[in-house]
Amino acid sequence: MGSGQSRGPARRRKARGVRPFLATLRRELRLAQRQSCDILVALLFFVLAVLILPFGVGPAPELLRAVAPGVIWVMALLAALLSMDRLFLTDHEDGSLEQIVLSPHPLESVVLAKCLAHWLTGGLPVVLVAPLLGLMLNMDSASLIPLVAALALGTPTLTLLGAIGAALVLGARRGGVLVSLLVLPLYIPVLIFGVAATDAAIHDLPVRPHLLIEAAILLAALALAPWACAAALRHASE
């Protein structure tokens, strides 16, 4: 007892945003590691959904090459949505969210840590597996780098935008479906510029502008989403 009060003001100031961020990140990664099947489900969904495509549209190499970027992006987007509703739901149900809201730190830093953990366990594996799937769908090796770059910039945005939806639907019935309905329209710009980057590479056009726009969307989401999420979470715990 008393240890919390005896610490110096400098330490407390440093603790404002960084410590809860690190503590939450560590907790979320540990939870993901203990419940690793959750990660695998999203990744396997992504891989399998892309793999069955040739069975649907036929194995013609030219056709596969043409649809590959779009298919990989749409599947990455759906894979991101798959685990989105659980981002805050379990914390809401077991009372953790209330305690997080009541912590004296900015709620935004906790939200950001949760999003980062979600991306590291859900988005990053998709980014890493995507080039293999691209090869399988007959994509040029030259267009694989833009594909990975655009996914690396786009999937964090998917997580951040999805988190807003996940926070808004807390307490609603069938929240998972509702998140998809709320968030899918917001994903359209990310999808357009992500696919455009890869298409540009296929047609020997400059890739950079598309990646820059993708990065700009990410920066905007990074600035706005934690704030919007935090407001929604405060409302949910009222």
What is the contact surface with other proteins in residues (CB under 8 A)?
Answer: 1-5, 7, 12, 15, 19-20, 23-24, 26-27, 30-31, 34-35, 93-96, 98-106, 110, 237-238
Q: State the minimum distance, in angstroms, from the CB of residue 22 to other proteins.
A: 8
Nearest of 234, 219, 237, 223 to residue 107 by alpha carbon = 234
Please say which residue, 10 or 52, places its beta carbon nearer to other proteins.
Answer: 10
Please say which residue, 175 or 194, places its beta carbon nearer to other proteins.
Answer: 175
Q: State the minimum distance, in angstroms, from the CB of residue 110 to other proteins.
A: 8
Please say which residue, 52 or 102, places its beta carbon nearer to other proteins.
Answer: 102
Please say which residue, 19 or 65, places its beta carbon nearer to other proteins.
Answer: 19
Q: State the minimum distance, in angstroms, from the CB of residue 34 to other proteins.
A: 4
Q: State the minimum distance, in angstroms, from the CB of residue 227 to other proteins.
A: 15
